[in-house]
Structure 1
Amino acid sequence: MSDTIIRVENLSKKYIIGHKQQESYTALRDVIANGAKGLLKPFQNGKSNIQNSSDEFWALKDVSFEIKQGDRVGIIGRNGAGKSTLLKILSRITEPTKGSIKIKGRVASLLEVGTGFHGELTGRENIFLNGAILGMGKVEIQRKFDEIVAFAEVEKFLDTPVKRYSSGMYVKLAFAVAAHLEPEILIIDEVLAVGDVQFQKKCLGKMEDVSKNEGRTVLFVSHNLGVVHAFCSRCILLGQGTVLADDTTDKAVGTYLRTLEKASSQSLLERTDRNGNGLAKLAHIEIYTGGSYSSVTLTTGYSAIFIFHVTKMIAGLSCCFTIYDQYGQPVTYFDSAIYSKEDMTNLEKEAKFICEIEEFLLIPGRYIINATLMCNGEFVDDVKGATFFNIEEGRIRSRAVSKEAGFGNVLLPHRWKTPI
């Protein structure tokens, strides 16, 4: 008997994008309004100022793969690659346009905060509701109940309607239910990022346990390539709805980083894989060495300048960026001051943020920058893989620093004292 638990063959999903927005439901007032519009049509000479047109968008195109029982598979790719659409089809939330999927066993999905929960029900009631949805009996759910509550750390709020839970509490309980009610397949989207760091580690440990020790299959979507690299033995890389790579995690992540690097070579304003409200956008990033000339190659121990050009300045705007190593693991983070109303009175001020680093203490290697603009706690613009740069060998206090020396990623300023 084959141990293939998921088989996807020539899977495609098409969406129709209309230029006139459609409401998700129709209320009584809408029926009345639409009826009135119909009565007016004969008096409008058959003309209308509203142009209804639509475009086809293929979120997935001829995707095929197989997953074995007990596999830990990462699904990676840029924003808009088709990751969430694939998970929704596998979770039976939406139907494919073409192709087929065959799944053996029960599937538990955690795709967004509140998935499968009813806001008016308490945490206790939602545990039993989710168990029933998975086809479990009351006795079977009761057997796992205490373990679920302990893992989720929500004992005090167990009899509170979940609509009053914070997003972190929601995710904790939702993950605990999904992981402990013994589905054969566990599908987890980026939603785990909502929880705190300690809970994320706890979740990853649980996923590893149910995969290795209980033989369950885990599909995991995350932009944190370091976590994917540590947890998954295999990765499927999606790009524009197609499979770009289906290989070991090392090879798939390497391919993904090369696609990000290729994307970073184009103007940031041309990038479509970005998030935010769009009030301002990152237009260009410049990197300067200590010699004050532009370069994508810096030197360990020397100064560096990062200049983030934006389309316009608005009051309350700030810029932050994270540097990742070649495996997608975050290394260090920088956050600017907030651009104030007083700054806006200086008309000569250019629309840019400048970050100066006196001594750049990263070891030699290839690094990635994810850049973000924030305003009043909201994402204005967020670009993954906004630019890349290299660090070459340098010297710190007359001591050579090389990539092969095994120093880690960051060198911290320090001094030694000899005890007297």
Structure 2
Amino acid sequence: LGMSRVEIRRKFDEITAFAEIDKFLDTPVKRYSSGMYVRLAFAVAAHLEPEILIVDEVLAVGDAEFQKKCLGKMEDVSTKEGRTVILVSHQMPAIQNLCNRCVMMERGRLIMDGTTEEVVNAYMSKGTELAQGGLTDRSDRAGKGDVRVTSIDLRDEDGNIIHEAIAGNNVIVSLGYSVKEGQTLNDCIVCVEICKDLKKFFALSSGLVDRRKLQLSGEGRIDFLVPDWPLSGGRYQVNIYIESDRQPQDFLNDASAIEVIDGDYYGSGKLHHEGWQGMHVLVKHSWELHRTA
């Protein structure tokens, strides 16, 4: 670890407390979950006092409180202790808060080096350009490839293709797919993420809403019905994922872009208060007044 026995003893309690594994000290590390392992690895690395700390997607695991601790620790290492932190991440808010210089990589190649604002804007623009293109020629997708998503559409309840989702209306997100000829894929799960400005707003999954087994072959489409579309107006990006027998088959970020327009979501003629236009997630609710005196 690069520390003497005395240093290890001195920092042991601090490391285990930071990683929040106090209750699992007697458990072999090989039995830790992936999240616990990454938390421990970050805690050890952060307390080594290295000249350069490289953090690769650590914010992808752990709950919100642990992520907040990681951000605080990286900020302390960088600003208070004067050491270099290299943060590898797709989470733009963290990058914008911590970094004063950014580089953008694509397939191992450096394609941009500049200020945080410049690179983040370029990265977001690139995602939008990809989402506006077709799926057939996309080479940035991952997975085995026995099945591919071939189209993404919005439909109304009658199955007709629509060009925009209206807040408060029932909307179908429709994914066309194609399986390699002669193959049948078992125990499939199909997922869709709806994002905006690199923030995930909600996800749809065939594996969460019921226990039916999904088998895919040939060509077809999978429709996800979203009652009372819960997002206000704007352009959103779509990420897609398909697996079979727990093996990733197709994974693609910025697979498509969808347009949402404001509607009478609450049935009150109002969608937001004046000055609240930046809010995107809509929730049906009611209220009552109970006087106690």
Structure 1 length as normaliser, TM-score?
0.59
8 Å contact kept, 1:269–1:281:
no
8 Å contact kept, 2:186–2:245:
no
Question: 1:369, CA displacement in angstroms?
Answer: 1.3
Q: Pick the aligned partner of 1:204 from 64, 71, 74.
A: 71
Q: Output the CA distance in 1 between the equivalents of 2:97 and 2:235.
A: 19
Q: Which residue of 1 aligns with 2:33?
A: 166
8 Å contact kept, 1:323–1:330:
yes
Q: Output the CA distance in 1 between the equivalents of 2:232 and 2:115.
A: 26
1:297 is aligned with what amino acid? E
2:287 is aligned with what amino acid? W
Distance 1:257 1:407, change over 3 A: closer
Q: Pick the aligned partner of 2:227 from 341, 346, 358.
A: 358
Q: Output the CA distance in 1 between the equivalents of 2:82 and 2:233.
A: 40
8 Å contact kept, 2:178–2:219:
no
8 Å contact kept, 2:192–2:203:
yes
Question: Is 2:289 aligned against 1:408?
Answer: no
Q: Output the CA distance in 2 between the equivalents of 1:380 and 1:367.
A: 24
Q: Pick the aligned partner of 2:243 from 363, 374, 383.
A: 374
Distance 1:160 1:333, change over 3 A: closer
Question: Is 2:213 aligned against 1:340?
Answer: yes
Question: 1:399, CA displacement in angstroms?
Answer: 2.4
Q: Which residue of 2 aligns with 1:330?
A: 200
Q: Output the CA distance in 2 between the equivalents of 1:387 and 1:200.
A: 29
Distance 1:418 1:157, change over 3 A: closer
Distance 1:398 1:248, change over 3 A: farther
Q: Output the CA distance in 2 between the equivalents of 1:249 and 1:145.
A: 35
1:205 is aligned with what amino acid? G
**1:196-221 Cα distance to aligned partner (Å, 9 max, x none):** 55433322222122223222221111
**1:34-81 Cα distance to aligned partner (Å, 9 max, x none):** xxxxxxxxxxxxxxxxxxxxxxxxxxxxxxxxxxxxxxxxxxxxxxxx
2:174 is aligned with what amino acid? I
1:365 is aligned with what amino acid? G
Distance 1:353 1:231, change over 3 A: farther
Structure 2 length as normaliser, TM-score?
0.81
Distance 1:384 1:339, change over 3 A: farther
Q: Which residue of 2 aligns with 1:237?
A: 104
1:352 is aligned with what amino acid? R
RMSD of equivalent CA atoms:
3.1
* Count of matched residue pairs: 282
Question: Is 2:18 aligned against 1:148?
Answer: no
Q: Output the CA distance in 1 between the equivalents of 2:186 and 2:282.
A: 36
Q: Output the CA distance in 2 between the equivalents of 1:405 and 1:253.
A: 25
Q: Which runs of 5+ in 1 are unaligned?
A: 1-129
Question: Residue 147 of structure 2 aligns to a residue in which SS?
Answer: coil
Q: Pick the aligned partner of 1:318 from 186, 189, 200.
A: 189
8 Å contact kept, 2:166–2:229:
yes
Question: Is 2:262 aligned against 1:393?
Answer: yes
